[in-house]
Structure formats: structure tokens, C-alpha cells
Amino acid sequence: MQRMRTIRVLLVVALFPLPLLAQETMQIRSRVLNETRTAIVHLPDAYAQSKTAAYPVLYMLDGGTNHRIAAAATSFLGVYGTIPELIVVAIPNTNRTRDFTPNDGAPKFLQFLTTELAPRIEQRYRTRPMRVLAGHSLTALFTVWAMTRKPDAFFGWIALDPSLWWNDGAVLKELNARKDIRHFVMIRSGESQRRRGDFPFTNLVLPDESHGSLPYRGMYEALKLLFADYAIDAATVREVDAHYETLSREYGYRVSVPDMAWFSVLYRNEEQQKWNEAALALERLAAQSPHHPELADERARLEELRKKQ
Amino acid sequence: MQRMRTIRVLLVVALFPLPLLAQETMQIRSRVLNETRTAIVHLPDAYAQSKTAAYPVLYMLDGGTNHRIAAAATSFLGVYGTIPELIVVAIPNTNRTRDFTPNDGAPKFLQFLTTELAPRIEQRYRTRPMRVLAGHSLTALFTVWAMTRKPDAFFGWIALDPSLWWNDGAVLKELNARKDIRHFVMIRSGESQRRRGDFPFTNLVLPDESHGSLPYRGMYEALKLLFADYAIDAATVREVDAHYETLSREYGYRVSVPDMAWFSVLYRNEEQQKWNEAALALERLAAQSPHHPELADERARLEELRKKQ
């Protein structure tokens, strides 16, 4: 039965109408950096289908190389309701070493991010007050350093194989001294693990990946870990409501229930022949997404199952 | 030493100039299907930087959901020289069940792919005579079925958790009867493996993934397996030349050497203080990519290392 449910959920996703290629390149003149910077913005497929839906924002460093990875991982996991759908803002480099080395330009780059880029993004797009910062290697070292300096600037922090060996482990020492680390995920390559032991915070080792090959799988695993509390395999509509209320307090904004949560309750209750609960889940889906392409079919199907019984 | 080399290669990639967002949506009126279909085309970042460079083409089914995954995986692996850089053509669904079920519309959809879409793509873009077809679930069943019907229509075939249980395993039986399977990769979820045993052709199980979650990691692993013979960790320029000559015969077109192959020979020979071979690799890189942003730095670096010794 579990299998049937999975396949049905998959088909629902495959039937969605053509996504818009909502992607744009933004130029921003930075006073702090005294140069013009570029941001590659990927919007969720559903962004243009609504005038009100708003999204948290993932800021992806080394954005010239990694913008597609961030967009693919967030979009895939977001559409399935594994993580919230996110706007991706990827920032290509101009002078990587200058911007991301803590004793060089990092303070300025952090200022650029928080006082110039993020406000501009939040003005231009429909955003939620939740920002996530992600980097790899040197830009992951920057991410960890930024967390120690401005822990409130971002909600979540993703570090893919951070160069923690920098400056005799200076940033690592600061990281270990902090007692209040939350929403921080580190993903490490097999290569990196062989050089160091374990760390006392959320981290995962991908033994098959090297330092350079880490970002593709790393972003996927990091997002799942960072938002591990997001999805729920609930039995009832009430459980779904309670879960996303709790999450709203945690995330600091009114988190909307992903459609997939209603499908999940629907299918589970159909399997258990709990028709009233199934119908309730379908009503909630209809109230939330009245134009969902699967609504009519699901209604007919529920009616049919009910009659068969 | 291995580690230093990896980090240098990584930096080379991170320093590349801003990629173009070369992505477009194409409409194609199909006589065979009697409807207008859409193709989402992602071009390699380097596409616009050349007037002559040509690329093999990956056709991704369930393209509305999976175009970003295909673009991210091919672009990431392509830039590092793990696989050839590819043009991705993703085809969103209109009527998934009709198009991909072998005893329904599949013959027509295959005809559309081979006689309408592919020729149009090859006319409009700079392509190499190498096509790869990829699908997931029902579209992976179609991929396997198409391979049994028209084994010469594509060079490579990727099936992510194909629905081989369809019609009492009819396609599976045909697959097992073929002795000439080449360039076929099947990736399976843990869920799928628990239902069936092993298969007698290239296949990989990802135990942590479910049927629905497979595509993101599946495309990455499939591309690495399909092009497992592409990259070479060579010691000499001569080895590189010989490798890509062999590959050219295998692939059926003149395969150009990826820049990363020259960097790899360069770094390895620098480490071993084989200066002539290092300089030769650098010359070959310069001849091939005269505007590579790292060229001047690498020349200066080699000169310096040579003097130090």
C-alpha cells in the first residue's frame, strides 16, 4: 500500500503544468564593495501563479558554478514538500579570495549581503523573513565565520566541506566555543573526513565524494537535514494543522501547509477506508489550491472507492 | 599532494567568468502527435563563447519536473571534465500515460523524438552525433522499451527506477533477451530493490532513496556510470591524446580533450618536478583554450616552481 501511495504522489507531481523558467540575472551596485555585483535569481515554479505566495530565500555562494545545483535541489525537494519552496539567489564571484577570507574582505562581503543584497531581494520579490546562507570550501568557511559574527543575520547555515584548517583552525575554535548553534548543517567529503575526526554539531559525511565533487549531493543532503522537521507523514488533518503551527513559531512566519501534506493524509485514509478524514483532507487541499490539476480526479476517485466498499 | 591538486582544480572552476543563463523554451508543432509540444533547452555555459564548439544532447523525459536536475547534473559533471558537456533538451508532459505506455502511444512518441524533435534540435544547435535518452518510472519504462525497438536511435540510455512490472514484465523480458546491450544504465531505489533482485546489466541501487525521490541523485550517478570511460587521470600528454582518440572511435565523433585533462597532467608533473611534461600540458591547454582565465597565472606559477627547484 505504501508503494501505491508513493507512485500516486509521483504522478501528481508529473502532471503539474509546464513550469515557468523563472530565472533572472540582477545587477546590483554595491557601495560597500565599491563594485557592481551580479545575482542569479531562480524563483519557484509556482511563483508566478500567485500574487501573494511568499518564499524564504537561499543565498548560494560561488553562485556562478553552483546556481543550477541550488535551484535543482531546492525545486525538487520543494515540489515534493520535503522542504519549503525557496527562492534561490546565487552570487557569482569577482574576487573569491578577497571576499571570503575572514581577515581580508569577509566583513565587507557580509555587510554587502545583509545591508545591500538581501534588502534589495526582499523589496523586489515576495519573500518570507527567513534567509539561509550556503557555501562550499572557502565560501563555506565564510559561512561558518559569518554565523559566529552575526548569528541572527540568517535563519539557516549550510557549510559544504568548509576550509576549517584556515589560519590554524581559528574559525573552528570560535565555532566550537559557541553553545547556541542552531540550524547549522555541515556536509563533508570522504577526503575531508580522512583528515579530521568528528564534529559536535549536525554533520554528515559523504564517503564517495571528494572535496571538489561535493556540492551536487551536498546541497541535497544539507537541505534535507536543515529542514528535517518540515515534512510530516500525518494520519489526520488535525495533526497536519498542529505540525505547521508549531513550525510557524519555529520559523518565525506563518508557514503554509504544502499540498503534499494533504495528499499524504488523503491517500493514507483512503487506504484505511477512513472516508470522512480522506474527504476532509481533500477539502483542505481544495480550499488551499482550488486550481490544483488533480482535484477533480481525486474527488472522483474517492467517490468511487467509497462506493466499492 | 593529491589534496593540493584537488583544491587547485576546484579554484580553477570557481574562477571561471559568469556563466550565461543559456536556457530557452522551444515550441514544436508535431505532426506525429498532432499537437504542439514544448522543449526546455539548457545549453552549456561555454556554448555562447564559441562559434564552433558542438555538444552531444541529453533528452530528458518528464521534463517539466526534471529539467533542472538534468541541467545541474550535466553542467556540474561537465565543467569538471567527468563527463562530456551536454546540451539538455527536456520535454514536459501533456499526456504522460498516453505517450509512455508501450501498447498505447509510445511508438508515436518515439517517432516524434527521432523524426521531429531531434532533427529540429540538431538543425538549430551545434550538436554532436550522440544522443542520450533518460527517463524515470513510467518514462524509464519507455526508455527501456525504446532501446529494445530502436537500439541505434540513441547512443546512451538512462532508466531511473523503470516500471518494469508493467504488463507482467513484458519489457523486462525483451530487455533480458537482448545480447547487445551497451551504454545502458539503470539506477534503482532501495524501495525498488526490495521488490526485485539483481539485474544482469549495469545497474546501481541507491538504498536511501525512494521511487519518487530518485531523480536528483539518480541522474548524477547514472551520468557518471554512462560516461565512466570519459575522464582520465593521465601522467603524460601522450596518454591524454591516446585516450581521447580511443574515445572518439567509441563515441562516433571527434571528442575534444576537456581542459581539466590538461590541468590534471600539469599539476601531476609539477608535483613530480617533471617540468618539460608540465610545460607541454600547459602548451596544449593554451592551444585549445587560448582565453582560459587561468593561463597567465599557471605559466607564472610553473616558472616560479622551476626556479625554486
Instruction: State whether B100 and B184 are in the same domain.
Output: yes
Q: What's the whole-number average pLDDT of chain A?
A: 90
Q: Is the pLDDT of residue A73 over 50?
A: yes
Residues B185 and B304 grouped into a single domain: no
pLDDT < 50 regions, chain B = 1-7, 10-11, 13-19
- B220 and B245 housed in the same domain: no
Q: Which of A200, A226, A252 is the last residue of a domain?
A: A226
Structural domain of B302: 237-308
pLDDT at A192 over 90: no
One domain, residues B261 and B168: no
* Alpha-carbon gap: A10 to the closest alpha carbon of chain B (Å): 6
- A259 and A206 fall within a common domain: no
Q: Are residues B217 and B285 in the same domain?
A: no
**Parallel/antiparallel/unpaired status of strands B127-136 and A35-42:** unpaired
Q: What is the 3-state secondary structure (H, E, C) of B202-234?
A: CEEEECCCCCCCHHHHHHHHHHHHHCCCCCCCC
Domain identity same for A73 and A130: yes
Structure letter (DSSP) for residue B42: E
The reply to whether B7 falls in a domain is: no
In a domain, residue A52? The reply is yes
> Following DSSP, what letter does each residue of B103-120 receive, concatenated?
TTTHHHHHHIIIIIIHHH
Q: How many Å apart are CA A119 and CA A114, to the nearest integer?
A: 7
Residue of A nearest to B15 (CA): A93
Mutation for B interface: A9, A10, A20, A37, most B CBs within 10 A: A10
> Is residue A236 predicted with pLDDT exceeding 80?
yes
Task: Answer whether residue A56 shows pLDDT above 90.
Answer: yes
How large a percentage of chain A has pLDDT more than 90? 77
Tell me what pLDDT residue B21 has: 64
Neighbours of B173 (CB within 10 A): 12
Q: What is the pLDDT of residue B1?
A: 36
Whether residue B126 is contained in a domain is answered as: yes
B13 occurs within a structural domain: no
Which of A162, A195, A226 delimits the end of a domain? A226
Residue A231 lies in a domain: no
Q: How many domains does one find in chain B?
A: 2
CB contact under 8 A, B65 and A79: yes
pLDDT above 70: residue A201: yes
Residue A15's pLDDT is: 46
Q: Residue B65 falls within a domain, yes or no?
A: yes
| pLDDT at res. B17 | 45
Q: Tell me the sheet residues that pair with B23.
A: B42
Alpha-carbon distance of A122 to B219, in angstroms, equals 33
d(CA B234, CA B240): 6
What is the model's pLDDT at position B196?
75
- The letter for the amino acid at A222 is A
Residue A7: which of B68, B211, B220 has the nearest Cβ? B211
Q: Can you give the pLDDT at residue A22? A: 77
* Minimal CA separation from B220 to chain A, in Å: 8
In a domain, A217, yes or no: yes
Tell me which of A58-72, A119-133, B166-180 is least confident: B166-180
Give the per-residue pLDDT at A48: 87
In a domain? residue A262: yes
Beta bridge partners of residue A158, listed in sequence order: A134, A185
**CATH of residue A112:** 3.40.50.1820
Give the distance from residue A178's alpha carbon to the nearest chain B alpha carbon, in angstroms. 29
Is a pLDDT exceeding 60 seen at residue A108? yes
**Whether residue B127 sits in one domain with residue B270:** no
**Tell me: the pLDDT tens digits for A12-44?**
544 444 445 678 889 999 999 999 999 999 999
Model ipTM? 0.89
Between A34-48, A57-71, A196-210, B260-274, the lowest mean confidence (pLDDT) is in A196-210
Give the residue with greater pLDDT, B66 vs A200: B66
Q: B3 and chain A: CB distance < 8 Å anywhere?
A: yes
Q: Residues A131-189: pLDDT tens digits?
A: 999 999 999 999 999 999 999 999 999 999 999 989 999 999 998 888 778 899 999 99
Do residues A195 and A73 share a domain? yes
CA dist., res. A134 & res. A147, Å (int)? 11
Q: What percent of chain A has pLDDT over 70?
A: 93
Mean pLDDT of A99-104: 92
Q: How far apart are CA B46 and CA B79, in angstroms?
A: 9
B34 and B74 in one domain?
Answer: yes
Q: Which of B195, B226, B257 is the last residue of a domain?
A: B226
Average pLDDT over residues A85-110: 95
Predicted confidence at residue A8, as pLDDT, reads 53
The reported pLDDT for the residue numbered B20 is 52
Give Dmax (Cα) for chain A. Answer: 71
Q: Are residues A58 and A197 in the same domain?
A: yes
Q: Are A250 and A296 in the same domain?
A: yes
Residues B132-148: pLDDT tens digits? 999 999 999 999 999 99
Residue A21 is predicted with a pLDDT of 64
